[in-house]
Structure 1
Amino acid sequence: MAKKITVIGGSGFVGTNLCRQLSLKQQDFEIIDIKMSNQFPDKCKIADVRDMGTLRKTITGDVVVNLAAVHRDDVRDKSEYQRTNVDGAENVALVCEEKGIKKIVFTSTVAVYGFAEPGTDESGAINPFNEYGRTKFEAEEKLRAWQMKGKNSLIIVRPTVIFGEGNRGNVFNLLNQIASGKFLMVGKGENKKSMAYIGNIVAFLETCVATEQKYGVYNYVDTPDLTMNELVSQVRAKLKGKTGVGLRLPYWLGMLLGYVADAVAMLSGKNLPVSAIRVKKFASSTEFRSAKASLETFQAPFTLSDGIERTLQSEFISPEPNREIFYTE
């Protein structure tokens, strides 16, 4: 008998793309979210992971994929990370225990490693630098406790930065700056950036749902990693027909501008596109390794170059005006 999949946070970017694939394959699923799904309203139930009562009423699947999270850098009420990421994950586990649901697939993040050494794999030291990374690891611990209580299955996925068609996160912001000619390279550009294309993330989550493996933790990275110089040069060549990265700003000056922007944001109460933490993240290496191929001998359906090409094509070269847009970090 085919299993029904409950996708918590299924109205978001990853969730919508996952549900689109499930729908194409005629897989039974339901969406649990605090907002209605634009693409699958008939499959969506409104509930909040912070509210046990709503979860009890809405979750009816056999496997839970928990994508719900607070993850933006500019969240002012830091307690929101705790309530949604940690308490929410614990609530999901408790409802699964009550309902006899034996499997959870949980999306965590490579942010649990903090500013990690290049090549960090799943055995890397846990050293988050922000509330997002800290609370996602704490959520992992809550779910590990649930998994160990009985014959439960738990697969944890720690993606690096996710990009793709319709996503208005950090990667799109970079691509858009290059497309508009307003991009300034900060630092030497030799730092590498691990990235994950949405089509591959969805395929891996499907593999996680299908596997009979009882427990696993997997970073998700599409390799080979590109340096910022390589990434920017490729995009400029495609969109602008130009070579190289263009104008370059020394790192110290970029950080100074970031601190000035932080001060302005604090005084004005407005969120600005530039901040010290964003400059630091941009200029740092986020180069991870993944054991994903060991899960059912997984093979990504798209190369990283395919993902970049598809995103540039759909966002800048032949944009689709009716596509749903998702605003994320």
Structure 2
Amino acid sequence: MKEKVIFVGASGFVGTRLIETANAEFDIKNLDKQGSHFYPDITVNGDVREQSSLDSHFLGQQTVVLLAAEHRDDVSPTSLYYDVNVQGTRNVLAAMDKNGVKNIIFTSSVAVYGLNKKNPDENHPIDPFNHYGKSKWQAEEVLRAWHSEEPEERSLTIIRPTVIFGERNRGNVYNLLKQIASGKFAMVGAGNNYKSMAYVGNIVEFIKYKLHNVEKGYQVYNYVDKPDLNMNQLVSEVEKSLSKKIPSVHLPYAVGMLGGFCFDILSKVTGKKYSISSVRVKKFCATTQFDASKVHACGFVAPYTLSQGLDRTLQYEFVSAKKDNITFVSE
């Protein structure tokens, strides 16, 4: 008999790849407020904000993987971050308690550490700079309180991924890769700032690894594919993968931020969302490196190197013919 696992919020980018990765090894149910393009047969409707839509679906489940989150930079109203990420977590835990489910894997974020920290590990002080990071930290606190009520019986694994990229994703990394690949790319700053990244094919394998190795207690892991690349090295990776020379244009940081503020104003005036904003320029120029020694020392072996993940993504998005146009929007 396969272990029964319920994925909450797995109709999106990471969840779809996770189902693809784990479907043959687990009896999976996907609960999401949105339908699944690829796995409608195992998907049921439910919203983490509505307790009544959750409870009955947790009956007989052994482990929960909580992926559901509000995560874009431009969510409005900002209360949605807390309604979904914090209260939604409380509701999931209540549904688990009503059905005797003791194990949960929760995807948090390195956003809990804040910007421009010096390679924080899992014990680094918490200092989120936006509502997403604040709400993820509050959700973690709710989970830790839940675990502490029955620490000998419950299993809690918190995974804090860095920015995740991969095939079919439409987020900040895709937008960056697209700009670089098009040759219409201007580097803001010197390009020496490092970026920790995670390939979706690796993060889902780690979640599956933890599903196979559920143990009572509490564990928290940063997830990053190492070694980190700086922005100039990332451009070189794109050049190598696509066999093309990318023009090198550098803009001063002040000019880049000014452009970001202009797009902020334009967005407010028109009501439209743009790929450029002051927050995204600030994040682009920040050094975002995170220590992932713990995850890579726990027995898990990532199936792809970071270079391989970038190459697979670039080839799929900009070289190979596509069978469909299904994509997933994230940060």
Which TM-score applies when normalising by structure 2?
0.95
* 2:30 aligned residue: 31
2:206 is matched with 204
Aligned residue for 2:49, secondary structure, equals coil
Which digits, 9 at most, give the CA deviation of each residue in 1:6-42, with x for residues without a partner? 000110111110001122x242100000011111111
- Matched residue count: 326
* C-alpha contact (below 8 Å) 1:158/1:219 kept by paired residues: yes
> Which is worse superposed, 157-166 or 315-324?
315-324
Query: How far apart in 1 are the matches of 2:4 and 2:40?
Result: 17
Give yes or no for the alignment of 1:50 onto 2:49: yes
Query: What are the Cα deviations for residues 231-255 of structure 1, in whole angstroms up to 9, with x where unaligned?
Result: 0122134325216x61111111000
Report the Cα distance in structure 2 between the residues aligned to 1:319 and 1:154, rounded to whole angstroms: 41
2:218 is aligned with 1:219: no
Deviations 1:253-290 (A, max 9, x none): 00011111111212222212211110000000100011
What's the secondary structure of 2:261's corresponding residue? helix
Supply the distance in 1 between the matched residues of 2:49 and 2:212 (Cα, whole angstroms): 27
| Residues 241 and 315, structure 2, Cα contact 8 Å, conserved in 1 | no
Q: What residue in structure 2 maps to residue 239 of structure 1?
A: 242
Structure 2 contact 9–15 (Cα < 8 Å) conserved: yes
What is the alpha-carbon distance in structure 1 between the residues aligned to residue 212 and residue 25 of structure 2? 15
* Aligned partner letter, 1:58: H
CA deviation vs aligned residue, 1:99-158 (integer Å, no higher than 9, x gap): 100000000000000114231111111000000000001001111111111111000000
- For residues 40-189 of structure 1, the aligned pairs below 5 Å read 40-60=39-59, 61-150=61-150, 151-189=153-191
**Structure 1 residue matching 2:229: 3-state secondary structure:** strand
Distance 1:8 1:111 in 2: 21
CA distance in 2, matches of 1:174, 1:181: 11
Q: Which residue of 2 aligns with 1:300?
A: 302
Q: How does 1:256-275 map to 2 (within 5 A)?
A: 256-275=258-277
8 Å Cα contact 2:54-2:95 kept in structure 1: yes
CA distance in 2: counterparts of 1:19 and 1:191, whole angstroms: 34
Amino acid at match of 2:297: S
TM-aligned CA deviation for residue 181 of structure 1: 1.8
In structure 1, stretches of 5+ residues that fail to align are none
Q: Which amino acid aligns with 2:205?
A: A
Q: Which stretch shifts more, 253-262 or 230-239?
A: 230-239
CA distance in 1, matches of 2:25, 2:236: 41
TM (normalized to structure 1)?
A: 0.96
With over 3 angstroms needed to count, the CA separation of the structure-2 counterparts of 1:319 and 1:282, relative to structure 1, is farther
Query: What is the aligned partner in structure 2 of residue 8 from structure 1?
Result: 8
* Number of the residue aligned with 2:289: 287
Q: Which moved more, 1:211-220 or 1:8-17?
A: 211-220
Say if 1:32 and 1:59, in contact at 8 Å, map to a contact too. no
The whole-number CA distance in structure 2 between the counterparts of 1:298 and 1:273 is 35
Conserved in 1, the CA contact under 8 Å of 2:116 and 2:286?
no
* Kept in 1: contact 2:6–2:65 (CA 8 A): yes
State the secondary structure of the residue aligned to 1:53: helix
Give the match's secondary structure for 1:252. helix
Instruction: Output the aligned Cα RMSD.
Output: 1.3
Amino acid at match of 2:156: L
Moved over 4 A (4+): none
> 2:149 and 2:172 mapped to 1: Cα distance?
38
Deviations 1:72-119 (A, max 9, x none): 001120000010000000111111111100000000000000114231
Larger mean CA deviation between 233-242 and 180-189 belongs to 233-242
- Equivalent position SS for 2:324: coil
**8 Å CA contact retained: 1:108, 1:158:** yes
CA contact (8 A) 1:179 1:240 kept: no
Distance 1:44 1:212 in 2: 24
2: CA distance, partners of 1:178 / 1:46: 39
In the alignment, is residue 326 of structure 1 matched against residue 309 of structure 2? Answer: no
Please state whether the residue corresponding to 1:30 is helix, strand or coil. Answer: strand
Query: What secondary structure does 1:84 align onto?
Result: helix
2:256 equivalent in structure 1: 254
Amino acid of the structure 2 residue aligned with 1:217: V
